[in-house]
């Protein structure tokens, strides 16, 4: 958490006191650090220097316009998985030729929007999608530049819900079918196959699955070329994992070494699509203690943040650090608590048996490592407003997504005529 540190007993984001943000914006609220976003992106660029590679940020990790604009200004491309994300990338100023469209269930409307926008590449994930893309391309009179996402059947050794490259996963074309897919694409009008893509999963802390997957991709590229096909591009998928619980994250230098050793000699234009490792530790979620609730078997810290604001612990059993905004006194005794939110679900639990310093009602805390898959996965469950987002830059901060009012939350709803009249 290099961008977040205690100064004179108060937790800061860069040069901004987070308690001042909470006082102005209220809680819960997400806070992102510009310096951390830029440093994490530049770390990829530096580690991969000398390779013909583009770093495309995975918008699904954090699609806030200000976050995207910050990275686009640094030269990043954007990996999108929906028309909405593509429109966000364009609205953030990303040139179309730096946008890659992935995703297993693209509709005709998605494909048409991508073609009309003139994006860099569409990663096709099935023969059915290929056929549909050809039809759409002919209709709108645009050539579709295509890479085939293949499933290399490699276990990423990460959480089962975010593993995407094994046989049986819904993503991609099986490796053995890639040659036939290329053959079919060459026979279809409006489609120009140029490469191969793969993505084996998220939050990898062991890099050996990447080595295995990239070796299989390199072999496939050579086989396709031997069969007379053009393979100019190779999309390597997501980046490395981050440290949530103090477990060491992989070194980018080691990841870059694997890329160089496995696919660096293919003469392909490469791209990678990190998300979490760029924005994860660049964000925190601020929350306030509502109650300290003692029990006969368990003690609870009840926060104003809930699973609708940060769903990763409920969905993935994910671990996030929870730290007070006021630095605890040295040697302060800790006690074990279950940390929970106010949503009416037992799964609205952030931590069980977590050892925490003394806390009281009204105290502020921060969830660390919350910049990825946090606000972007938030909901309005229990009619709780979407959590606001704040971007810090040195000693200044701005709201980059406001907290909606109740009236704004229900503005899209209406009563049918037979219910509109009040008796």
Residue 98 assigned to a binding site = no
Residue 44 assigned to a binding site = no
Q: What is the dihedral of CA 26, 32, 35, 41, to 10 degrees?
A: 180
Question: Residue 229 is encoded by which pair of tokens?
Answer: 């096909």
Residue 211 assigned to a binding site = no
Separation in Å, CA 87 to CA 95, 96, 126, 389: 11, 10, 24, 19
Residue 312 assigned to a binding site = yes
Active-site residue identified among 56, 268, 272, 344: 344
Residue 283 assigned to a binding site = no
CB 27 within 8 A of CB 364: yes
DSSP-derived secondary structure for 145-212: EEEEEEE-----SS-GGGB-SSTTSSSSEEGGGHHHHHHHHHHSTTEEEEEEE---BSS----HHHHH
Active site residue 344: yes
Residue 239 assigned to a binding site = yes
Q: What is the dihedral of CA 48, 50, 52, 53, to 10 degrees?
A: 20
- The alpha carbon dihedral of 368, 369, 372, 374 has a sign of negative
Residue 105 assigned to a binding site = no
* Strand (E) or helix (H) holding 98: none
Give bridge partners of residue 201 from the DSSP assignment: 163
Binding residue positions for pyridoxal 5'-phosphate: 239, 273-276, 373
* Active site residue ranges: 344
Binding residue positions for substrate: 276, 312, 316, 345, 373
Binding residue positions: 239, 273-276, 312, 316, 345, 373
């Amino acid at each position: 958490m290099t961008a977040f540190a205690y100064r004179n007993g108060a937790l800061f984001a860069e040069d901004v006191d987070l308690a001042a943000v909470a006082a102005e914006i209220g809680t819960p609220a997400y806070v992102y650090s510009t310096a951390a976003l830029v440093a994490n992106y530049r770390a990829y660029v530096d580690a991969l220097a000398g390779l013909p590679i583009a770093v495309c940020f995975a918008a699904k990790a954090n699609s806030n316009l200000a976050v995207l604009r910050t990275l686009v200004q640094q030269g990043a491309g954007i990996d999108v998985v929906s028309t909405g994300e593509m429109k966000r990338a364009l609205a953030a100023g990303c040139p179309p030729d730096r946008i890659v469209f992935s995703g297993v269930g693209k509709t005709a409307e998605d494909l048409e929007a991508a073609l009309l926008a003139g994006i860099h590449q569409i990663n096709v994930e099935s023969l059915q999608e290929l056929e549909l893309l050809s039809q759409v391309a002919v209709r709108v009179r645009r050539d579709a530049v295509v890479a085939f996402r293949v499933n290399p059947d490699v276990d990423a050794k990460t959480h089962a819900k975010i593993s995407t490259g094994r046989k049986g996963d819904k993503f991609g074309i099986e490796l053995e079918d890639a040659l036939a897919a290329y053959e079919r694409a060459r026979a279809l009008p409006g489609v120009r196959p140029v490469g191969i893509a793969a993505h084996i999963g998220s939050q990898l802390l062991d890099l050996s699955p990447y080595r295995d997957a990239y070796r299989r991709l390199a072999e496939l590229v050579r086989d396709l070329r031997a069969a007379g096909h053009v393979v100019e591009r190779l999309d390597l998928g997501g980046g490395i994992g981050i440290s949530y619980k103090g477990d060491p994250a992989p070194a980018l230098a080691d990841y870059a070494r694997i890329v160089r050793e496995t696919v660096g000699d293919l003469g392909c234009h490469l791209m990678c699509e990190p998300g979490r490792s760029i924005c994860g530790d660049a964000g925190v979620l601020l929350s306030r203690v509502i109650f300290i609730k003692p029990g006969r078997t368990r003690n609870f810290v009840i926060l104003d943040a809930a699973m609708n604001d940060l769903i990763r612990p409920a969905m993935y059993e994910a671990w996030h650090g929870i730290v007070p905004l006021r630095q605890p006194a040295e040697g302060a005794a800790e006690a074990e608590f279950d940390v929970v939110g106010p949503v009416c679900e037992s799964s609205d639990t952030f931590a069980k048996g977590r050892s925490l310093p003394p806390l009281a009602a009204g105290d502020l805390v921060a969830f660390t490592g919350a910049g990825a898959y946090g606000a972007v996965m938030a909901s309005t469950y229990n009619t709780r407003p979407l959590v606001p987002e704040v971007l810090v830059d040195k000693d200044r901060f701005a709201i980059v997504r406001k907290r909606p009012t109740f009236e704004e939350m229900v503005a899209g709803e209406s009563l049918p005529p037979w219910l509109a009249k009040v008796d």
